[in-house]
């Protein structure tokens, strides 16, 4: 019988088997060497400490989230009873009690706010323009300020 070269697929299987054997042998040698070091033992202890701290952090995160929801509910109740309501049509208009929890919130924690926003400020600018069109009206400036402040103020 004539000998023929090994098929490509058979060679690939042979290489795979040898590689897996080498990896397993290397793993045994390295594992034995690593386990003898004091640094490995120290790293294991610290790794377990980290895992415990992560579990504690997760438990605290759950408690924090529950408390934040409670505060948000209270803030909503307070704001629903206010004489001035926030108007979604006026961009940037914020009034009442706010509770910011993320780094992106302008107000961190609990804060009482009153900000007109640019749409209300534009409306005020329009009214000032109309009130001052007739003449320079330097004599009437205090009356204009009082009248427009009262017009754009919400509650008493």
pLDDT in tens, 33-50: 999 999 999 999 999 999
Please compute the mean of the pLDDT values over residues 74-82 and round it to a whole number: 93
- Asked if residue 78 has pLDDT above 60, the reply is yes
CA 123 to chain centroid, in Å, comes to: 33
Helix (H, G, I), strand (E, B) or coil at 113: strand
Q: Specify the pLDDT at position 116.
A: 82
Spatial distance between the Cα atoms of 1 and 14, rounded to a whole number of angstroms: 23
Number of H helices, E strands in the chain: 4, 2
Q: Specify the pLDDT at position 132.
A: 74
- Asked if residue 109 has pLDDT above 80, the reply is yes
pLDDT over 90 for what percent of the chain? 44
CB neighbours of 154 closer than 8 A, spacing ≥ 6?
83, 84, 85, 95
Spatial distance between the Cα atoms of 78 and 97, rounded to a whole number of angstroms: 7
pTM flag (> 0.75): no
| Chain length of the chain | 156
The terminus-to-terminus CA distance of the chain in angstroms comes to 110
pLDDT over 70 for what percent of the chain? 88
Please compute the mean of the pLDDT values over residues 94-122 and round it to a whole number: 81
The model's confidence at residue 92, banded by pLDDT at 50, 70 and 90, is low
């Amino acid at each position: 019988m004539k000998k023929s070269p090994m098929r490509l697929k058979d060679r690939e299987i042979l290489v795979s088997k040898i590689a897996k054997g080498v990896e397993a042998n290397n793993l045994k040698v390295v594992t034995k060497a690593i386990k003898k070091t004091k640094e490995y033992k120290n790293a294991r202890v610290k790794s377990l400490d980290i895992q415990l701290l992560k579990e504690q952090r997760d438990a605290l995160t759950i408690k924090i989230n529950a408390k934040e929801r409670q505060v948000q509910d209270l803030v909503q109740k307070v704001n629903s009873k206010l004489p001035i309501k926030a108007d979604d049509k006026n961009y940037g208009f914020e009034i009442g009690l706010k509770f910011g929890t993320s780094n992106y919130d302008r107000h961190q924690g609990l804060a009482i706010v009153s900000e007109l926003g640019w749409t209300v400020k534009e409306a005020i600018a329009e009214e000032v323009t109309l009130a001052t069109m007739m003449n320079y009206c330097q004599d009437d400036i205090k009356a204009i300020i009082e009248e427009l402040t009262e017009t754009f103020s919400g509650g008493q």
